[in-house]
């Protein structure tokens, strides 16, 4: 998925913003910093950690057919290989920012990277799909710890706002590179060795992150309240609803009912808890709600498209894993360039216009893919994928800036957490929906087209909501005195 260029600060580590201590004095609760620690070393460690967990959201897709052949699994099992990671990542990220504050970002980062690396080895050694999915859930849980703690380390190492903004831009670039490399690297590793290589490649990267974490300045522990009932009901609701879509049948109906009940319980808990993981009042802020909904819609279309096209290239067109990965190369190159351009456009003109144009472009991109079939030339298919990536890469940095600018600065971390968790949840549901539509593959192309059309309708509705929000927000500023949704620099 395109990564957001974050201005001001994205992906903040906790829903409860805490002031950072000056590095000149050792904060209370901090361990002595190791000799040789430096801000640059901390930034390198954080970038590697973010790269590591982001790579696994995209590197696996192209390897799925090879996994299915070797481990004798059907499509629903392969969907869980993707969604086991994504759901754990999405749901636990609601609380791991606060957990990182409580135990200290440096400790959380080291433990998260260690568990992620060990789980990657378990994935690569898995003798069957059940154990592979279980290891992927552990991977996703560890990723949910690594992401907020890696950004917290950057914020800790760069107390000066200007230097911190540049450091965060470098950190975000690590995620963009990982997304761009994912499909191509997955295809190359699967072809050169086997699907297991897409997990074993995490071993040297994780080892590097762990080695660098020993040289990072120790972080203080800060009190941060946890919403355990809200976290638990969120996990149950998301897992049950995803199971209902993927599995269907009587078991799916039961899971759907459980998911609805858990969702109702989640909403009740969040309305009453003094420190909810998802403050429901956020959705009464029109600009923030529009940005969150737009982020979910864009992610649904993009993740679903990448998932189903990865299968289409190999199962319908009969391409090798390497060729399938290379088919994504034009798309990922566009993402890398457009993420930078979108940030500059948003800085100059405000987030409203690039949000709207990006969503509209992504709708066009999904519609352009509808005629693609088994006989479509490979070059034409690769070119047809570009408009979707162009629109998504334009929209995501802008909608991130809109969410950040719609709330006071002290609530930016909470808004970023909800936005990113919502995007991951949408990605998980897109895999479930697209997989259910293509079914056993006998009518793969027809199911793929239905999925693309559903995604286009959702994105069009989000674009209309954005247009309506632009009209309503014209001339208004956020409660924080920030940027107008539709305006340029204040």
More confident residue, 436 or 478: 436
- Report pLDDT digits (tens) over 11-42: 333 333 333 333 333 444 444 555 456 888 99
* Nearest to 314, CA basis, from 264, 238, 374, 262: 374
Residue 28 domain-assigned (yes or no): no
pLDDT the model gives residue 103: 85
| Confidence check: pLDDT of 482 > 50 | no
As a whole-number percent, the residues of the chain with pLDDT over 90 amount to: 49
| Confidence check: pLDDT of 488 > 50 | no
Q: Are residues 177 and 257 in the same domain?
A: no
Q: Are residues 269 and 289 in the same domain?
A: no
Alpha helices per DSSP H over 350-411: 352-368, 378-384, 386-405
Lowest-confidence segment of 159-163, 254-258, 430-434 by average pLDDT: 159-163
- Report pLDDT digits (tens) over 345-394: 887 888 888 999 999 999 999 999 999 999 999 889 999 999 999 999 89
Q: Are residues 50 and 110 in the same domain?
A: yes
- Domain with residue 171: its CATH number is 1.20.1250.20
Q: If you average pLDDT over every residue of the chain, what do you get?
A: 84
Residue 31 domain-assigned (yes or no): no
- Report pLDDT digits (tens) over 117-128: 999 999 999 999
Q: Are residues 3 and 134 in the same domain?
A: yes
Residue 490 domain-assigned (yes or no): no
Rounded Cα–Cα distance for residues 397 and 386 (Å): 18
Q: Are residues 242 and 183 in the same domain?
A: no
Q: Are residues 310 and 263 in the same domain?
A: no
Residue 383 domain-assigned (yes or no): yes
The alpha carbons of the chain give a radius of gyration, in whole angstroms, of 21
Residue 178 domain-assigned (yes or no): yes
- Report pLDDT digits (tens) over 280-305: 888 888 888 899 999 999 999 999 99
Question: Which residues touch 287 (CB under 8 Å, ≥6 apart)?
Answer: 402, 403, 405, 406, 469, 473, 478, 485
Kindly report the backbone phi and psi dihedral angles of residue 14, in degrees, each rounded to the nearest multiple of 5, phi listed first.
-145, 150
Tokens encoding 432: 């479930």
Can you give the pTM of this predicted structure? 0.82
| Confidence check: pLDDT of 331 > 70 | yes
pLDDT the model gives residue 2: 55
Given the structure tokens 């990657």, which residue do they identify? 120
Kindly report the backbone phi and psi dihedral angles of residue 139, in degrees, each rounded to the nearest multiple of 5, phi listed first.
-55, -50
Q: Are residues 161 and 52 in the same domain?
A: yes
> 53 is in which domain, residue-wise?
1-9+36-218
Q: Are residues 201 and 247 in the same domain?
A: no
pLDDT the model gives residue 34: 57
- Report pLDDT digits (tens) over 69-88: 999 988 889 999 999 999 99
Lowest-confidence segment of 21-35, 36-50, 176-190 by average pLDDT: 21-35
- Report pLDDT digits (tens) over 154-171: 888 888 777 876 787 788
Q: Are residues 117 and 192 in the same domain?
A: yes
Angle between helix 105-125 and 129-157 (nearest 10):
160
Residue 486 domain-assigned (yes or no): no
Residue 433 domain-assigned (yes or no): yes
Residue 18 domain-assigned (yes or no): no
pLDDT the model gives residue 22: 35
Q: Are residues 443 and 418 in the same domain?
A: yes
Question: Which residues touch 198 (CB under 8 Å, ≥6 apart)?
Answer: 59, 60, 63, 185, 186, 189, 190
Residues 219-234, mean pLDDT to the nearest whole number = 84
Q: Are residues 211 and 234 in the same domain?
A: no
The total domain count for the chain is 3
Q: Are residues 256 and 200 in the same domain?
A: no
User: What DSSP string runs through 224-287?
Assistant: ----HHHHHHHHHHHHHHHHHHHH-HHHHHHHHHHHHHHHHHHHHHHHH-SS-SS-GGGGGSHH
Tokens encoding 171: 């950190």
């Amino acid at each position: 998925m395109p990564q957001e260029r974050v201005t001001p600060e994205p992906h903040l580590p906790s829903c409860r913003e805490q002031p950072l201590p000056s590095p000149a004095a050792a904060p209370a609760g901090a361990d002595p910093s190791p000799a040789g620690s430096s801000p640059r070393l901390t930034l390198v460690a954080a970038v590697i950690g973010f790269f590591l967990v982001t790579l696994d959201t995209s590197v696996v897709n192209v390897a799925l057919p090879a996994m299915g052949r070797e481990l004798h699994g059907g499509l629903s099992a392969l969907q869980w290989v993707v969604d086991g990671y994504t759901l754990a990542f999405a749901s636990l990220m609601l609380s791991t920012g606060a957990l990182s504050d409580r135990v200290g970002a440096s400790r959380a980062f080291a433990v998260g990277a260690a568990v992620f690396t060990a789980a990657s080895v378990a994935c690569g050694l898995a003798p069957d799909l059940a154990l592979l999915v279980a290891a992927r859930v552990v991977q996703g849980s560890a990723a949910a710890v690594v992401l907020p703690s890696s950004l917290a380390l950057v914020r800790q190492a760069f107390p000066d706002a200007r230097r911190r903004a540049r450091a965060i831009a470098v950190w975000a670039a690590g995620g963009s590179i990982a997304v761009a490399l994912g499909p191509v690297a997955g295809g190359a590793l699967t072809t050169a060795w086997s699907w297991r290589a897409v997990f074993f490649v995490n071993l040297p990267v994780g080892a590097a992150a762990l080695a660098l974490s020993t040289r990072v300045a120790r972080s203080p522990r800060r009190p941060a309240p946890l919403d355990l009932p809200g976290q638990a009901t969120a996990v149950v609701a998301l897992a049950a609803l995803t199971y209902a879509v993927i599995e269907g049948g009587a078991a799916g109906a039961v899971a759907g009912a459980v998911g609805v009940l858990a969702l109702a319980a989640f909403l009740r808990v969040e309305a009453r808890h003094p420190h909810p993981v998802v403050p429901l009042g956020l959705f009464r802020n029109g600009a923030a709600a529009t940005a969150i909904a737009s982020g979910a819609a864009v992610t649904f279309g993009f993740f679903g498209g990448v998932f189903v096209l990865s299968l289409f290239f190999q199962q319908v067109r009969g391409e090798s894993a390497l060729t399938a990965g290379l088919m994504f190369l034009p798309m990922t190159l566009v993402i890398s360039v457009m993420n930078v351009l979108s940030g500059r456009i948003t800085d100059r003109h405000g987030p409203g216009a690039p949000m709207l144009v990006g969503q509209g472009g992504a709708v066009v991109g999904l519609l352009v893919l509808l005629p693609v079939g088994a006989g479509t030339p490979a070059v034409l298919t690769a070119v047809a994928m570009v408009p979707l990536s162009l629109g998504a890469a334009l929209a995501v940095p802008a909608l991130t800036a809109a969410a950040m600018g719609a709330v006071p600065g002290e609530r930016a971390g909470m808004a970023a957490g909800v936005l990113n968790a919502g995007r991951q949840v949408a990605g998980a549901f897109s895999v479930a929906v697209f997989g259910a539509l293509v079914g056993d593959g006998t009518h793969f192309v027809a199911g793929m087209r239905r999925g693309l059309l559903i995604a286009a309708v959702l994105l069009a509705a989000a674009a209309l909501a954005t247009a309506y929000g632009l009209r309503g927000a014209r001339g208004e500023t956020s409660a924080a005195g920030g940027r107008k949704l539709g305006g340029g620099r204040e």
